[in-house]
Chains A and B, each alone.
Chain A
Amino acid sequence: MTAVDLQGLLLLFAFLGLMLGSAAIGRRWPATFRQISAFEGLGKAIERAVEAGERVHVSLGTGSVIGPESAPAFAGLAALTRIARATSMSDRPAVVTAGDGAMAILARDTLRSSYGEMGASDLYDPTSGRLLGPTPFSYAAGLPSVLSNENVSVHMLSGFYGFEAGLAAEFGERARAFVIGGTNEVQSQALLYAVAQNPLIGEEVFASGAYLGAGELHKASLRAQDIIRIGLIVLILLGVVMATFEDLI
Chain B
Amino acid sequence: MRLFRISALWAAVAAAVGVFVLLGYFVNFDFIQNIRLLFMRWAALLAAAALLVGLANLVQVHWRKLSLAEEGWIYSAILILAFLVTLILALSFGPDNPVALSIFKYMQLPLEAGLMALLSVILLVAGFRLVTRRRDAFSILFLATALLVMFGTGPAVTEGPVTVVMRDLRAWISQVWSAGGARGIALGVALGATTTGLRVLLGADKPYGS
Write the residues of chain A forming the contact surface with B, with a CB cutoff of 8 angstroms: 1, 5-6, 8-9, 12, 15-16, 19, 64-66, 68, 71-72, 74-75, 77-78, 98, 100-102, 104-106, 109-110, 112-113, 117, 126-127, 129-135, 137-138, 140-141, 145, 148-149, 163-164, 166-167, 170, 184, 186, 189, 191, 193-195, 201-203, 205-207, 209, 214-215, 217-218, 221-222, 224-225, 228-229, 232
Q: Are A137 and B116 in contact (CB under 8 A)?
A: yes
Point out the residues of chain B lying under 8 angstroms from A221, CB to CB.
Answer: 192, 195-196, 198-199
Q: Is the CB of B54 closer than 8 A to any CB of chain A?
A: yes
A74 and B61 contact, CB distance less than 8 A: no
Query: Does B119 have its Cβ within 8 Å of any Cβ on chain A?
Result: yes
B193-A206 in contact (CB<8A) = yes
Q: State whether A113 and B50 are in contact (beta carbons under 8 Å apart), knowing that A15-B195, A75-B196, A229-B187 are contacts in the complex.
A: no
Residues from chain B with Cβ under 8 Å of A104 in the complex:
50, 53-54, 57
Does A9 lie within 8 Å of B26, measured CB to CB?
Answer: yes
Q: How far is the CB of A128 from chain B (nearest CB, A)?
A: 9
CA distance A145 to B208 in the complex (A): 27
CA distance A201 to B186 in the complex (A): 11
Asked if A203 and B188 make an inter-chain contact with CB atoms under 8 angstroms apart, the answer reads yes
Q: Give the complex CA separation of A104 and B130 in angstroms.
A: 34
Interface of chain A, helix or strand or loop or mixed?
helix
Per-residue A-contact encoding for B24-49, CB less than 8 Å = 1, 0 else:
01111000000000001001101100
- A8 proximity list for chain B (CB < 8 A): 25-26
Other-chain contact of B127, A117, A189, A194 (Cβ < 8 Å): A194
| B204 A102 Cβ-Cβ under 8 A | no
Residues B130 and A201 in contact, CB atoms below 8 Å apart: no
Residues of B within 8 A of A214 (CB): 205
Q: Say how far A197's CB is from chain B's closest CB, in angstroms.
A: 8
A133 to B108, CA, bound (A): 12
With a cutoff of 8 Å between Cβ atoms, the chain A residues found around residue B142 in the complex are 193-194
Bound together, the chains give a CA A166 to CA B123 distance in angstroms of 7
> Contacting A71 at CB < 8 Å: which of B40, B65, B196, B208?
B196
Give the distance to chain A from B20, nearest Cβ to Cβ, in Å.
14
When A66-B43, A74-B205 are in contact, do A101 and B52 touch as well, CB less than 8 Å?
A: yes
